[in-house]
Chain A
Amino acid sequence: MTNVHVIGTGGYQPGDPIPTSEIERLVGPLPADVLEGLAITSRHWIADPATGAQSENNSDMALKAAQRALESAGVDAAEIDLMILATGTPDYVLPPVVNLVQERLGLVRCATMELRSGGAGVVQAMEIARRFLADGTYRTALLIGSEAISPVLIPVFLGQDPAKIRMRERIPVYMFGDGAGALVMRAGEGPGGVSAGATACIGGDRKPGIHAVGGGTHAPIAEQLKAKRLVDLRVDVVGAGDFTPQMVIEGIGATLAAAKVDVETVDLCLVPEGNVGWMRDSLTDQGLDQGAWKALDGKVIDSLPVMGAVGCAAVPLFLDDAWRSGRIRRGDRVMVVGVESTKWIYAGAVIDWTMP
């Protein structure tokens, strides 16, 4: 099979960073140890915290990240023949966001797909694209992960007394950010590139760690309209804190196996939330900080502290951040592992980086 390379990356975050001190003013404080465990100092939102007004939407961010990725690849939008987008917070239920971006890129005809696997989505897309590019079905793939979570956070605090906001509702406001990231992939003869990936949902018997309820078809619309908020983002902080580390460790093991590489050969490992306090504490508490995780000590990269939890955008956005900041260099072996705590999905891949 032909090798498939990442030839461009792009990222976009809306507006100015919102510091954690501002979140505290809006929703009330958190215990110092919880705040330290989250390790997020700033995030970007499309929604104005003061008014809830939105400066842009999911597809706007996705387009900007895509344009930056195309620019870094030196590829014209007209060359794209496969687009895959991952999001959990689309502009509309339908049409898919990927097609809104397709239209704005000026592509009348293109193969498109949209994945809804949260933080694992773009890594799953990498494997789908790798196969289509390697067998010659398509030549140039554009992969996008984008997330607009702030619109569902605003109703938690706008017009509310911060003292009356429950901690279970405060924590998500501190955690989440908006943004988009994109990758351009293409088949090539040179060595390196993207290896075979791994993915699984390991929560078939487990309740969701995050549940976004409302606006779907689970209950009659008339019944849903009686809810306090149109969409309620419920985060099981304790459950996610316990099981996400197990998912990360299983994801790393499966990715190494699928790529047929030894952990010692990995130069960098991108795991969103991989460097934050709660994850490291939980790994240690559960005795999971051995083996592959120990071998990756000091190699884990993660932009979460300054970007927040950005769902589908995390892997491509943090990858772009690492490449643009010079952390990732040509010749590096980079493992990416995206995890999704709604229903416990992981996806991983290894990239032998060939971009300058």
Chain B
Amino acid sequence: MDRHEITEIVTTAVVDGLGAEPDEVTPDATLLDDLSAESIDLLDILFRLERALKVKIQAAQLAEYVQGGIPDEEFGDADEIITEKGLAQLLRVMPQIDPDELRGTLKARRVMSLFTVDNLVDLVIHRMAVDAMEAGTPERAEVPA
């Protein structure tokens, strides 16, 4: 399954999970801010992806994926402002962000508001690759660069 096909499936899941108009769900639309998704809607989208792609992503794994395993105290400072190490991680999973614009102002609780439809596609591809490797069939999906 290639990225284009996965993008189509993710887009359908987001449109149906949010009751959104298809033209609203663009790759660069953020789930929480632009599309007004709440936690129940994220659960809905992930459940639709599980059924369509047999890829299980828990809601809690969304934030874990974005934080990349960096401990909370290294990801944000005492005022919850994202650190340089945190920003570097965010740039890996959300390449559309501008670190210079966010440096010194982005709070940890606002991080997920930057997460776009395209970032979700990346997460799904990542998860499929991990699942495939664990199942011993690495050809099932391509690991993103």
Chain A residues near B (Cβ < 8 Å): 29-31, 34, 163-164, 166-168, 171, 236-238
Contacts and interface: CB of A to CB of B under 8 A. Distances in A.
User: Majority SS of interface residues in chain B?
Assistant: helix
9 contacts: A29-B51, A31-B50, A166-B19, A166-B44, A167-B41, A167-B43, A167-B47, A168-B41, A238-B39
Contacts of B43: 31, 34, 167
Contacts of B60: none
Contacts of A237: 40
A164 B16 CA distance: 5
B66 interface: no
A167 B38 CA distance: 11
Nearest to B15: A164
A144 B44 CA distance: 37
B22 to A, nearest CB: 12
Contacts of B50: 31
Contacts of B38: 168, 238
Contacts of B68: none
Contacts of A29: 51
Interface in B28-54: 38-41, 43-44, 47, 50-51
Interface of B: 16-19, 38-41, 43-44, 47, 50-51
A236 B44 CA distance: 14
Given A168-B38, A171-B40, A236-B40, 11 more contacts: A30-B47, A31-B47, A163-B16, A164-B19, A166-B18, A166-B41, A167-B40, A167-B41, A168-B40, A168-B44, A238-B40
B46 to A, nearest CB: 9
Contacts of A236: 40
A166 B38 CA distance: 12
Contacts of A31: 43, 47, 50
User: Majority SS of interface residues in chain A?
Assistant: helix
B42 to A, nearest CB: 10
Nearest to B18: A166
Nearest to B45: A167
A101 to B, nearest CB: 37
A29 B17 CA distance: 13
A166 B47 contact: no
Which of B19, B39, B40 has most A Cβ within 10 Å? B40
A29 B16 CA distance: 14
Nearest to B39: A238
A97 to B, nearest CB: 32
A163 to B, nearest CB: 7
B12 to A, nearest CB: 9
Nearest to B19: A166
Contacts of A238: 38-40
B100 to A, nearest CB: 35
Nearest to A228: B19
Nearest to B12: A163
Which of A31, A236, A238 has most B Cβ within 10 Å? A31
B17 A166 contact: yes
Contacts of B44: 166-168
Q: Identify the 10 closest CB pairs spanning chains A and B, nearest first.
A: A167-B44, A168-B40, A31-B47, A238-B39, A166-B19, A237-B40, A164-B16, A238-B40, A166-B44, A167-B40
A17 B39 CA distance: 32
A68 B44 CA distance: 43
Contacts of A167: 17, 40-41, 43-44, 47
A29 B47 CA distance: 9
Contacts of A163: 16
A168 B41 CA distance: 7
A236 B16 CA distance: 19
B73 to A, nearest CB: 23
B50 to A, nearest CB: 8
A168 to B, nearest CB: 5
Contacts of B47: 30-31, 167
A342 to B, nearest CB: 17
A243 to B, nearest CB: 14
Contacts of B41: 166-168
A294 to B, nearest CB: 28
Contacts of B17: 166-167
A208 to B, nearest CB: 14
Contacts of A164: 16, 19
A34 B47 CA distance: 11
B11 to A, nearest CB: 14
A29 B44 CA distance: 10
Contacts of A171: 40
A207 to B, nearest CB: 12
